[in-house]
Amino acid sequence: MSSHRVLRLDNTIPLAVQGYAWLPNRHRRARADAVPMRLLGRPAVALRGPEAARFFYDERHVRRHGAIPEPVRSTLFGHGAVHALDGSAHRVRKAMFLALLTGGGVDHLVVRSQAAWDAAVPEWADRSPVVLFDETARLLTRAVCDWTGVPVPPDDLPALATDLIALVDGFGTAGPRHWRARRARARREAWLADLVDRVRRNDPTASADSAVVAVARHRDADGAELDRHTAAVELLNILRPTVAVSWFVAFAAHALHRWPGHRDRLRADDPAFAEAFTQEVRRFYPFAPFVGGRAVRDLEWAGERIPAGAMVLLDIYGQHHDARFWPDPYRFTPERFLNREVDPYELLPQGGGDPAAGHRCPGELITVALLRAFAVRLARLDHTLPDQDLAIPLNRIPTRPRSGVLIQVRRPG
Ligand code: HEM
């Protein structure tokens, strides 16, 4: 057992400097799956591996209340969001998301998004070269707003897409990106809270089976409706992450450029391979670096003491590149997912465990379906990549290819 009394330097600055490499470096240096440290002035322990994930996603060990730093709440998730709830309050709110995001209605979102992509291709050819990341964000913004019943005037659509991207882009930095994200959140929460008011006054244009109505009418564990602000926060928690699938689409384009051999199998509409390619994009590329909570009581894991109230971090990026779980982890190999059952604690791009019982992302079905559909379309798209900077800097959270993936599209037919 290592002593938790030794002086530990705060790791906030190494996190800011090293980004995705920070926790993997700490784990490598300590040669351990549990590494004690200090973060944001508090004791913290970083965990890694499927067994650690099983421990982390047990509410008897780790809870979320008070775990999410204010700068992340004010940009990425919003105040009062499901992400920071525990126990029955969490389960009742989460059930609302699961009903909206895992039912038959998901197909409609995917069909809308595919249609938007197909309609955009000739227009991309006319405007080429275009930035794939930006174009995907705009078409997903249109599709998810139509799907959820959020009315957006066409001339506000580019600004809305920019705001939704900003919310994700600004959570992990203290610089101008962060302040852009805060402003975007204030603007869009106010706008959606007004929409919630209109829906509650029985706006005749709101469709009864839309997500907007479901969120406006949802009752929490205490039997009360969400206040208008929290309802707006949760609506944004559907719009914002759907548009964030653009990050994975940019990564898929990067993979197809770097390893063009995968194109033929994707083009051939082999569903098993398309699924495997999608999973490998989610494993290989850096997006969510880690998740965090707080120890409910004094705990111990892998011989490391975790004092009550300490931050507990689960190293997603490190686990996805650990050779014990993923042989040759720095090779992009979709085939590793063929004929393999994936344990719910092994592959964690959107968290682990059971989404109904814990905090695992309820939007995983949507993410995988959209990414698979767009990966196949990308493989079939007649395009080239002009000279550009495709580097993916690991010290930037969240990162993406620097150019956003500039593509030169040839008109179909
Ligand atoms: C772009 C791809 C996505 C990534 C990388 C992603 C990642 C994540 C991660 C890491 C978590 C936290 C898991 C945890 O705290 O243990 C999460 C939670 C969540 N995600 Fe996603 N997500 C994505 C897409 C989506 C989509 C498409 C939706 C909805 C349409 C969504 C809605 C949510 C919600 C509501 C939560 C909170 C769940 C809870 O606290 O119980 N996400 N996501």
Please tell me the predicted confidence (pLDDT) of residue 246: 98
pLDDT tens figures, 158-178: 999 999 999 999 998 889 999
| The two three-digit tokens of residue 365, written as one number | 């079905």
Closest C-alpha residue for ligand 1 atom 41? 359
Correct CATH for 12-409 of 3.20.20.10, 1.10.630.10, 1.10.3720.10, 1.10.240.10 = 1.10.630.10
Q: What is the residue type of 170?
A: G
Q: What is the dihedral of CA 200, 204, 205, 210, to 10 degrees?
A: 50
Ligand 1 atom at minimum distance from 234 CA: 35
pLDDT tens figures, 322-338: 999 999 999 999 999 99
Please tell me the predicted confidence (pLDDT) of residue 5: 45
Beta-strand relationship, 62-63 and 290-295: antiparallel
Task: Determine if ligand 1 sits within 6 Å of the CB of residue 351.
Answer: yes
pLDDT tens figures, 190-240: 999 999 999 999 988 889 999 999 999 999 999 999 999 999 999 999 999
Report the alpha-carbon distance of residue 10 to residue 17 in Å, rounded: 13
Domain ranges of the chain: 12-409
Task: Determine if ligand 1 sits within 6 Å of the CB of residue 359.
Answer: yes
pLDDT above 60: residue 3: no
Ligand 1 centroid – CA 99 distance (Å): 15
Please tell me the predicted confidence (pLDDT) of residue 7: 58
Task: Determine if ligand 1 sits within 6 Å of the CB of residue 113.
Answer: no
Secondary structure (3-state) at 37:
strand
pLDDT tens figures, 324-380: 999 999 999 999 999 899 999 999 999 999 999 999 999 999 999 999 999 999 999
Ligand 1 centroid – CA 275 distance (Å): 19
Calculate the average pLDDT of the chain: 95
Report the alpha-carbon distance of residue 188 to residue 185 in Å, rounded: 5
Task: Determine if ligand 1 sits within 6 Å of the CB of residue 332.
Answer: no
How many other CB atoms are found less than 10 A from the CB of residue 286?
23
